Amino acid sequence: MYKIGVLGDYDSIYGFATLGIETFPVDASGAGEKIKELIAGDYRVIYITEALASEIQPELEKYEEQITPALILIPGITGNTGDGVANVKASVEKAVGSDILFGEE
Amino acid sequence: MASTQVIPTRMELTRLKRKLVTARKGHKLLKDKRDELMRQFLEMVKVNMDLRKGVEAGIHAANRNFVIAKAGMDEATLHTALMAPKQEVSLEVGKKNVMSVNIPVFETKTRTADENDIYSYGFAFTSSDLDGAVKSLADILPDMLKLAEIEKACQLMAAEIEKTRRRVNALEHVIIPQTMEDIKYISMKLDENERSSQVRLMKVKDMMLKEAHGWE
The domains of chain A, with CATH numbers, are 3-80 (3.40.50.10580)
CB contact under 8 A, B138 and A18: yes
Closest CA–CA distance from residue B49 to any residue of chain A (Å): 7
Taking the Cβ of residue A70 and every Cβ of chain B, the question of whether any pair is shorter than 8 Å is answered with: yes
Q: Closest by alpha carbon to B48, among B128, B163, B156, B138?
A: B156
Of B87, B111, B148, the CB nearest to A45: B148
How far is the CA of B153 from the CAs of A49, B35, B53, in angstroms?
A: 20, 17, 17
Q: What torsion do the CA atoms of A89, A94, A95, A100 make, to the nearest 10 degrees? A: 50
pLDDT at residue B160 above 80?
A: yes
pLDDT at residue B23 above 80?
A: yes
Given the DSSP bridges, would you call strands A43-49 and B89-98 parallel, antiparallel or unpaired? Answer: unpaired
Taking the Cβ of residue A14 and every Cβ of chain B, the question of whether any pair is shorter than 8 Å is answered with: yes
CB contact under 8 A, A20 and B87: yes
Q: Where are the domains of chain B?
A: 29-209
How much is the ipTM here? 0.89
Position B74 scores a pLDDT of 81
What number of C-beta contacts closer than 8 Å exist between A and B? 144
Taking the Cβ of residue A72 and every Cβ of chain B, the question of whether any pair is shorter than 8 Å is answered with: yes
pTM over 0.95: no
For residue B108, which residues of chain A lie inside 8 Å, CB to CB?
4
Cα A55–A75–A49 angle (5° rounding)?
Answer: 35
Closest CA–CA distance from residue A30 to any residue of chain B (Å): 22
Question: CATH fold of B29-209, please?
Answer: Helix Hairpins (1.10.287)
What average pLDDT does the structure give for chain A?
85
